[in-house]
């Protein structure tokens, strides 16, 4: 086997020794400024790298650096040396692509399934004071920028609140709630905040012009409270923001995540389905049937077609033919 030029350091000083490396009878043999002979099994060879020199380490702390990677690789093959499977995978573009694809798939599955489950567990375990504080802060922000005091008479507000208070929950205890009436520049709308505040705009009450339909909307929003959807969404968004900050080095927007997410009250399909199920169960349990909820979305769909584009309640609770059919079917099953 031909000799390969190398640099040898004895591990006790910084002195550089110019040597040549050969393999003879299962031993690494150094000749030149330093003389040494060691069995191959006692040596450790560094991983391959595109730019760094290969390194051979001795048991006593001495090491050898080889710049001619190609010649060194040939020497290693002649001795029967083989890189570990991790190194081989790192140098295979197919393996790298497969690993990248697997990583993306795992992250996506974690986002779809693990993250929602984690957020649900955290939300359920949070003290109520945390949800109250967060929701109250968002409501104040909305009052300052988007909402105005209600123009409905106190008697009308009290009548709607009392009628909703008389409805019995379909399961367990009723989540703590407070009905807040507001006038709004964002049009007909209703949404639930983690604090238990259910905000309903005057414009929505006037558009529905039907107390049973108003109860259906409130039951749906109560379903969001029952499942902690608002808090779960904040937790999920905060986790994503924190992970993104760790990856990309920017945590400056983390503290703004919660209000921003709550102001954009768009729930996932699963969350809307759960809230629908709660509303249907509550309406049927109180003898109202599901028709009031069907009427709500049917009216909104008709108004959307007339005006063109999403508005108000539709932008955060988009109805669909499938969703309406599901609500009707649920009502039939519960009768």
> How high is the pLDDT of residue 90?
46
304 has pLDDT over 80: no
Name the one residue in this structure whose structure tokens are 């639930």: 192
326 or 262, greater pLDDT? 326
Instruction: Report the percent of the chain where pLDDT is more than 90.
Output: 31
Q: Record the pTM.
A: 0.63
The answer to whether the CB of 207 falls within 8 A of the CB of 275 is no
User: DSSP of 264-314, one letter per residue?
Assistant: S----HHHHHHHHHHHHHHHHHTT--SHHHHHHHHHHHHHHHHH-S--HHH
Measure the CA–CA gap between 139 and 191, rounded to whole angstroms. Answer: 11
CATH number assigned to the domain covering 4-83: 2.30.29.30
- Please state which of the ranges 77-91, 104-118, 204-218 shows the lowest mean pLDDT: 77-91
Rounded mean pLDDT of 124-151? 86
Report residue 125's pLDDT band, with 50, 70 and 90 as the boundaries: confident
Rounded mean pLDDT of 49-60? 80
> Could you report the per-residue pLDDT of 158-193, keeping only the tens digit for each?
999 999 999 999 888 888 999 999 998 878 889 999
113 has pLDDT over 70: no
The answer to whether the CB of 137 falls within 8 A of the CB of 145 is no
> Could you report the per-residue pLDDT of 247-260, keeping only the tens digit for each?
545 444 444 455 54
- Give the dihedral of Cα atoms 160, 162, 166, 167; nearest 10 deg: 30
Rounded mean pLDDT of 296-302? 80
- H helical segments located in the chain: 69-79, 85-90, 93-109, 115-125, 128-145, 154-166, 202-208, 211-226, 229-248, 257-263, 269-285, 291-307, 312-316, 321-334
Spans of all domains in the chain: 4-83, 92-125, 126-334
221 has pLDDT over 90: yes
- 3 state DSSP class of 329: helix
DSSP state of 261: H
91 has pLDDT over 70: no
Name the one residue in this structure whose structure tokens are 């028709």: 291
Measure the CA–CA gap between 260 and 266, rounded to whole angstroms. Answer: 11
DSSP state of 108: H
Strand-by-strand arrangement of the 178-184 sheet: 147-149, 178-184, 197-201, 190-192
Measure the CA–CA gap between 302 and 308, rounded to whole angstroms. Answer: 10
Rounded mean pLDDT of 62-90? 70
């Amino acid at each position: 086997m031909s000799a390969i030029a190398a640099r040898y350091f004895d591990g006790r000083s910084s002195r550089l020794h110019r040597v040549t490396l050969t393999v003879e009878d299962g031993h690494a043999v150094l000749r030149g400024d330093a003389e040494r002979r060691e069995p191959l099994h006692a040596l450790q060879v560094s991983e391959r790298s595109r730019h760094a020199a290969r390194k051979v380490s001795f048991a006593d702390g001495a090491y050898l650096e080889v710049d001619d990677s190609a010649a060194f690789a040939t020497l290693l093959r002649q001795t029967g040396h083989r890189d570990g499977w991790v190194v081989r995978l790192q140098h295979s573009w197919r393996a790298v692509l497969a690993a990248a694809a697997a990583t993306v798939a795992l992250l996506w599955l974690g986002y779809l399934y693990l993250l929602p489950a984690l957020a649900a567990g955290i939300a359920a375990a949070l003290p109520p004071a945390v949800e109250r504080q967060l929701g109250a802060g968002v409501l104040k922000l909305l009052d300052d920028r988007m909402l105005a005091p209600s123009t409905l008479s106190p008697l009308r507000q009290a009548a709607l609140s009392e009628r909703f208070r008389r409805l019995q929950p379909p399961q367990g205890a009723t989540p703590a709630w407070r009905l807040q009436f507001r006038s709004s520049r964002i049009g007909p709308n209703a949404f639930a905040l983690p604090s238990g505040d259910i905000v309903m705009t005057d414009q929505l009450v006037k558009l529905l012009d039907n107390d049973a339909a108003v109860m259906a909307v409130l039951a749906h929003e109560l379903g969001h409270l029952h499942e902690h959807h608002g808090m779960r969404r904040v937790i999920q968004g905060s986790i994503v923001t924190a992970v993104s900050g760790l990856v990309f080095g920017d945590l400056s927007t983390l503290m703004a995540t919660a209000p921003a997410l709550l102001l954009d009250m768009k729930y996932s399909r699963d969350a809307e389905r759960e809230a629908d199920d709660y509303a249907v169960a509550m309406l049927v349990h109180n003898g109202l049937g599901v028709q009031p909820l069907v009427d709500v979305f049917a009216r909104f769909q008709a108004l959307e077609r007339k005006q063109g584009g999403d508005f108000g309640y539709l932008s955060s609770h988009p109805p669909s033919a499938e969703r309406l059919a599901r609500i009707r079917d649920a009502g039939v099953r519960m009768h």
